[in-house]
Amino acid sequence: MSEHRNMGAGDPEAVWSSPLDHAINQRDRDTLDMVRKAIDANQIELAYQPVVQAARPDQVAFYEGLIRVLDDSGRVIPAREFINVVENQEIGRVLDTLALEKGLTSLADEPGLRLSINMSARSIGYPRWNETMKHWLAHDPLIGERLILEITERTAIVMPDLVQVFMADLQSRGVSFALDDFGSGYTAFRYLKDFFFDILKIDGEFIQGIHANPDNQVLTQALLSVARHFDMFTVAENVETLEDAEFLASIGVDCMQGYFFGAPTIRPWWQQEEQRAHA
């Protein structure tokens, strides 16, 4: 691969980068710029996806609120297209705060709703996030009982001691916690006995096509065994076919989430009903 030499202004040392590095850096800068513009324009939404009971797929256990940004054209951009770029930036903390604000507002507007919201462990201690949570818990102490905070494996392991204290504090106020993307290869199993997660969400990599994949069947059953040992409720992610859903129900998964049961939508049923009521 060819390389070119970039000399930073006032930098006496040469910095070598490939055309690919340059393209990746430019893409990341464009992504950050898009997200900043969306925040400034208040073009941030939650998309809601149902999590259903495995034994009664017609019954929704709770919804997950997934952060979305809208670009200049109004196109909805899913989190997978920007979350890795903003994860280590303060803008990622801002997005976590906005997701929490919007999620708690939905819980206040719809008393029958139970909702999970994603957050990075890096947002623990972020002033605006904490102020938002304290404000809503002070306003409605019972709202925490309908809130689930999802923390991914990759961020939980970065600061396990801080995560434990943070979880214990909010769990004492009724908030539940889910370990997201479990099995994706980040969390050491020894931490599970210390974290006390309420819900374990099995990474979709093991779930898609599981009815015809003996390896993933064995691995998923092992993850279920771990969850049961630590008394954690289980959710299978990325369920996309009837065959996979039937297999997962047969091995004892508590809940399932995926396009087979419903795609994320920024216009959930309770908002549609409210709009019709005011029409």
- What's the pTM? 0.87
Q: What whole-number distance in Å separates Cα of residue 243 and Cα of residue 236?
A: 14
The predicted pLDDT at position 77 comes to 83
Token couple for 241: 């076919």
User: 197 burial class (0-12, 13-18, 19+ CB within 10 angstroms)?
Assistant: buried
pLDDT per position as a tens digit, 113-124: 999 999 999 999
Q: Which residue has the tokens 């801002």?
A: 94
Q: How many CA atoms lie within 13 A of 51 on its CB side?
A: 25
- Summarize pLDDT for 220-252 with one digit per residue, the tens: 999 999 999 999 999 999 999 999 999 999 999
pLDDT at 206 exceeding the cut of 80:
yes
Identify the pLDDT of residue 278: 65
pLDDT at 6: 43
Identify the band that residue 12 occupies on the pLDDT scale cut at 50, 70 and 90: very low
How is residue 151 written in tokens? 């923390």
* Lowest mean pLDDT segment, chosen from 68-72, 239-243, 257-261: 68-72
pLDDT value at residue 270? 81
Question: What pLDDT score does 29 carry?
Answer: 79
Q: What is the pLDDT of residue 185?
A: 65
Cα dihedral 90→94→97→98 (10° resolution): -160
Q: How many whole angstroms separate alpha carbon 271 and alpha carbon 204?
A: 28
Helix or strand run (H / E) with residue 79: none
Among residues 163, 97, 83, the alpha carbon closest in space to that of 134 is found at 97
Q: What percent of the chain has pLDDT over 70?
A: 86
Residue of higher predicted confidence among 34 and 50? 50
3-class secondary-structure state, position 152: strand
Q: Does domain 34-273 have CATH number 3.40.50.300?
A: no
* 118: nearest Cα among 144, 86, 152, 71: 152
pLDDT class of 204 with cuts at 50, 70, 90? very high
- Statement: residue 15 has pLDDT above 80: no
125 DSSP assignment: T
Across the chain, mean pLDDT equals: 87
> Which of residues 159 and 63 earns the better pLDDT score?
63
Q: Which pLDDT value is given to residue 258?
A: 97
Length of the chain measured in residues: 279
For 191, the 3-state DSSP assignment is: helix
- For the chain, domain boundaries: 34-273
Residue holding tokens 């939508």? 265
Q: How confident is the model at residue 17 (pLDDT cuts 50, 70, 90)?
A: low
Other CB atoms within 10 Å distance of the CB of residue 163: 21
Q: Does the pLDDT of residue 276 top 80, yes or no?
A: no
Average pLDDT over residues 47-64: 96
Per-residue pLDDT for 30 more than 60?
yes
- CA 264 from chain centre, in angstroms, equals 12
In this prediction, residues 207-216 reach a mean pLDDT of 97
| Nearest Cα residue to 246 out of 215, 218, 277, 212 | 212
The top-scoring range by mean pLDDT among 14-18, 66-70, 147-151 is 147-151
Q: Is the confidence at residue 253, as pLDDT, over 90?
A: yes
Q: Which pLDDT value is given to residue 114?
A: 98
pLDDT at 16: 53
Per the structure block, which two tokens stand in for 100?
A: 């929490």
- Helix, strand, or coil (residue 242): helix
Res 20: pLDDT: 63
